[in-house]
Structure 1
């Protein structure tokens, strides 16, 4: 059973590594953030499988920390994307006069 869990963790880690290509080649920032969320989910799954297979203490805490960081990163991206761009046309008109 432990070998199966470690093999599944290795397979998920391989797919996460392949997903790194999407981060580097993403045409927009939204694509990159979604790929990062996918990578963090794969990393969490890998850590939980390794923790279950090996019984090493603290690995599940690291997975929980990664989940919290991934959630905050997504919230920060949405907050930044939702904020309006500063309008510089008013300052340009005032300086022209």
Structure 2
């Protein structure tokens, strides 16, 4: 079962690499932010899978912190972006 978790974590890592390409080359700020959210969500998934595979509860705590940071960064971006759009 551990190898299954590791394989899924590797697939998520590949999606993170594709998301990183979108962050670098995204056509707009919104596309880049959504790709950054993908990176945050994928990192949470990878950490949770590794916590299951290695039976480390500390990785679950780190995943929780990453999830909170991703949510706060998304809200901050929307607030700044909306203020810029409404100012035009």
TM-score between the two structures when normalised by the length of structure 1: 0.83
- RMSD of aligned residue pairs (Cα, Å): 1.3
Tell me the distance in 2 between the aligned counterparts of 1:71 and 1:30: 15
Which residue pairs with 1:94 in the alignment?
none
Structure 1: which 5+ runs fail to align?
A: 88-97
Which residue pairs with 2:79 in the alignment?
79
Deviation of 1:57 (Å): 2.8
Structure showing greater radius of gyration is 1
Which residue pairs with 1:29 in the alignment?
29
Tell me the distance in 2 between the aligned counterparts of 1:39 and 1:17: 8
Alignment: residue pair count: 86
Structure 2: which 5+ runs fail to align?
A: none
Deviations along 1:28-72, whole A, 9 cap, x unmatched? 110100011111111111110000011123100110000000000
1:18 and 2:18 matched: yes
Tell me the distance in 1 between the aligned counterparts of 2:34 and 2:78: 11
Runs of 4+ in structure 1 displaced over 4 angstroms?
Answer: none
